[in-house]
Amino acid sequence: MRVEDDLYFRIDRLYAEYCACLDEGELEAWPKLFVEDGLYQMISRENYAHGHPIPLMLLDSRGMMLDRVYALRNANIYQPHRYRHAISGVRITQQDDEAIGVSSSYIVAQTLTDGTTDVYQAGSYYDRLIDGEVGLRFKERIVVYDTTRVKTLLATPI
């Protein structure tokens, strides 16, 4: 098996696990896909393109992500919902000693308590992955959303 094939295969598995954690409601497993000092950031296409550092969500360690999940489970008030992700256009954009750069597209459909499902958000993932002892993990996932008119409160990570 070629080295590059194997890497794409393992990226596919990491992304499948990421989507499954969020879509199946296994939020506690989601921070484990990041390294200890990992970064999760969600920012609009416009702010990202202009270099404006104003994200909608910013979690810069696994601890903060676990806090976020704890708040979602225990403190925050929001309408229950379910996401379903669709991922495409996965490509390795950079590879150096530190990390593997990967970009991809997402479409997220959301079902609300009234039982209707609609497209909730679409955008890009710009990732930096680390290939460590436990396999591939996110060093950084920047979620750049195209959809600026968000239909309901954004509570759960995309």
Q: Is residue 152 within the footprint of its own copies (CB under 8 A)?
A: no
Q: What are the phi and psi torsion angles at 88 (to 5°)?
A: -150, 175
| 39 SS3 class | strand
Tracing tokens 């979690």 back to the chain, one arrives at 59
Contacting residue, 47, 61, 95, 105, with its own copies by CB under 8 A: 105
Stretch of residues binding its own copies (CB under 8 A), selected from 27-35, 53-61, 108-116, 127-135: 108-116
Q: Is residue 16 within the footprint of its own copies (CB under 8 A)?
A: yes
Cα separation, 143 vs 140, in Å, equals 10
Contacting residue, 57, 130, 147, 155, with its own copies by CB under 8 A: 147
Contacting residue, 39, 42, 62, 121, with its own copies by CB under 8 A: 121
What lies within 8 Å, CB to CB, of 80 at 6+ separation is: 112, 113
* Site track 20-59 with its own copies (rule: CB under 8 A), x = hit: x--xx--------------------x--------------
| 97 SS3 class | coil
